[in-house]
A and B are shown apart, each in its own frame.
Chain A
């Protein structure tokens, strides 16, 4: 019995490593930008002074399929929860963005155009969609990479917003 366990040990260690690396790599939250002031925005259509938190900043593009997948959740956040969402269209042609939002609805309070992809780098993105939750002081409270699922909204976004609201009242 003891010998069997020793023989299996390398496999067990290997699997433990695979699982721990996979959980870290597949986690949707990115920590680098969190608890930092949001980088200044000087985009066509969206500037720093336009933004009033708590709010979401959502990088998207009409050509990005995962963005379609999260669109309903953004609509629910802006309509049901009255959360302002500012959109940043990444390398997207104006008419394509317009058609996309006309078809699926427009959850955005305002839309900035990141045609050169400079805001994308400045905000530390590695793809679209990515979403930031910022507080009333324009500090980044949460950075989500990839599709914002319904469970991400209920388990992560909403609790942070509720926490922000209670600290605001005090």
Chain B
């Protein structure tokens, strides 16, 4: 019984394993390694508009590829990382960021899980106390 539990827990850790690999094609890459590194960093923070749970760095979708190329073109033209991210945020909203900022509209997203945890905790506490009484 105990070994089984350990095995199940161990199996759950598999979900933590990195299961994504970059889709950047060799022909997209910039020759300047510093610019390319910045492009990769930005791409990892931008959510693919058609595949929701992937960044454009991980997605092989057509739109993701176009976005990666756009980012590289803008970097080459001398735009800052912030300018590029802002360009996309204006058009697609906070949802385009893999890490959306905490503000009024996203507060439920960020704080909701903790709220549910606290409420659940209170519920469990009351339930156990009542069961013991």
Contact = CB atoms under 8 A, between A and B. Distances in A.
Contact of B66 (A31, A32, A116, A124): A116
Contacts of B62: 91, 117
Interface residues of B, number: 13
A141 to B, nearest CB: 17
Nearest to A30: B93
Interface string A106-118: 0000000000111
B66 A117 contact: yes
B93 A120 contact: no
A100 B117 CA distance: 54
Interface string B91-133: 1110000000000000000000000000010010000000000
Q: Chain A's interface: helix, strand, loop or mixed, by majority?
A: loop
Contacts, number: 34
A85 to B, nearest CB: 22
A120 B90 CA distance: 14
Contacts of B49: 125-126
Interface in A77-115: 91
A91 B62 CA distance: 10
A125 B90 CA distance: 12
Q: Chain B's interface: helix, strand, loop or mixed, by majority?
A: helix
A12 to B, nearest CB: 13
Contacts of B67: 121
B50 A126 contact: yes
Given A91-B62, A126-B63, A121 B50 contact: no
A40 to B, nearest CB: 14
B70 interface: yes
A91 B66 CA distance: 12
13 contacts: A10-B120, A32-B92, A33-B91, A91-B62, A117-B66, A120-B63, A120-B66, A121-B70, A122-B91, A123-B91, A125-B49, A126-B49, A126-B92
Interface of A: 10, 31-33, 36, 91, 116-118, 120-127
**Top-7 shortest CB links A-B:** A124-B91, A126-B49, A32-B93, A117-B66, A124-B92, A126-B50, A121-B70
